[in-house]
Amino acid sequence: MITLYGIPNCGSVKKARDWLESQNIAYEFHDFKKAGIDKNTITSWMQQVSWEVLVNKKGTTWRGLPEATKDGVTSATSATKLMIENSSVIKRPVLCKGKTVLVGFDADTYEEHLL
């Protein structure tokens, strides 16, 4: 089973969804805004990718955070807390298939792991 995490209006999420549908790959979509995200899910992602990859420091959400909040994100624990409190800071999309966790959308990477 494939689960794609993100928000519907995100451009990268739209590209990932379009690619999956064009390849006739079934997936479940998890909307951060409606369903939130929990510690166990983030912890499972961090078994495959680092918190530095998951926290989108180039996005508008990160840039809008107070400096003290940004300065406080120094570990997996503090990053997890921030991602739970503000899921928009997570780099999107996050695709999970078994133990595979792909962050961001790249058609070649999706093809390599899913076809």
96 is catalytic: no
Residue of 88, 98, 106, 107 lying closest to 27 (CA atoms): 98
The encoded tokens of residue 58 equal: 């180039």
* pTM of the predicted model as reported, rounded to 2 decimal places: 0.95
CB 20 within 8 A of CB 3: no
Instruction: Give the active site residue among 10, 46, 76, 84.
Output: 10
The encoded tokens of residue 10 equal: 């995100």
pLDDT tens, residue by residue, 18-42: 999 999 999 999 999 999 999 999 9
Q: Which fold has domain 2-114?
A: Glutaredoxin (3.40.30)
Which conformational region is residue 24 in: left (phi greater than 0), alpha (psi within -120 to 50 degrees), or beta? left
Proportion of the chain above pLDDT 70, given as a percent: 100
